[in-house]
Amino acid sequence: MVFQTTKLTISIEKVLILCMAKKKRQGHYCRICGEYKANEKFSGKGHAQHICKTCMSHKKKGNEFPAEEEASELVEYDVDDMGYDMFNPNIDIMPSFLEPIPYKKLDKDTKFAVKQMWEEYVESYWYEEHLIPLNNDFNNMKDEMIGIFEEAENTTLKDDKDLKRVLHDQMLIVINKLLKAEKPK
């Protein structure tokens, strides 16, 4: 059966699917105590971390979680066998959110690794395009390098002016080396 209106044709199957949609729970889920609580029971950081104010205060005081009486209720999960599903409250696994680190605060080895990776990006771009990457090309390369660096080194770089300056300077050094190597003697 098909319903027709002036602007819309809807089949009965679509209507049933829309009506049978899962109802959304009120509030927010706390991954520590496993309860749905009102949004007011979460602080700003608690919302992002899925930890209510009560559990957060216990965590700051150094109390162990879960409490002994609650520990028997929790089910142990094998992390390797299960992916993260933010809509499934039964899974107590959260993806790691790395805090972006400014370039100035990186250690010497990490700065060296950033420069080495950037050199490879600039060299490959130079050999493909034979142009200096500017504006959008520079930004696209930088964003891609930051993403791959995060996966490889498990460190998120903050996209700030210091990082842009270092990458720009390193780009010029690499291109100058490449130009000198191409120059016939």
- pLDDT by residue (tens digit) across 55-94? 888 877 777 655 434 444 444 544 444 455 555 655 555 5
8 Å CB contact between 110 and 153: yes
Report the pLDDT value the prediction gives residue 174, as an integer from 0 to 100: 92
Instruction: Pick the more confident residue, 173 or 46.
Output: 173
Q: How many residues does the chain have?
A: 185
Spatial CB neighbours of 97, under 8 Å, sequence gap ≥ 6: 48
8 Å CB contact between 63 and 50: no
Report the pLDDT value the prediction gives residue 93, as an integer from 0 to 100: 53
Considering only the C-alpha atoms of the chain, give the largest distance between any 2 of them, rounded to a whole number of Å: 82
pTM assigned to the model: 0.48
Phi and psi at 49, nearest 5°, equal -90, -5
DSSP state of 101: B
8 Å CB contact between 127 and 175: no
Query: What b/e sequence results for 120-153 when a residue is b if at least 16 CB atoms lie within 10 Å of its CB, and e otherwise?
Result: ebbeebbeeeeeebeeeebeebbeebbeebeeee
Interval 103-136: pLDDT, tens: 999 899 989 989 999 999 899 999 998 888 888 9
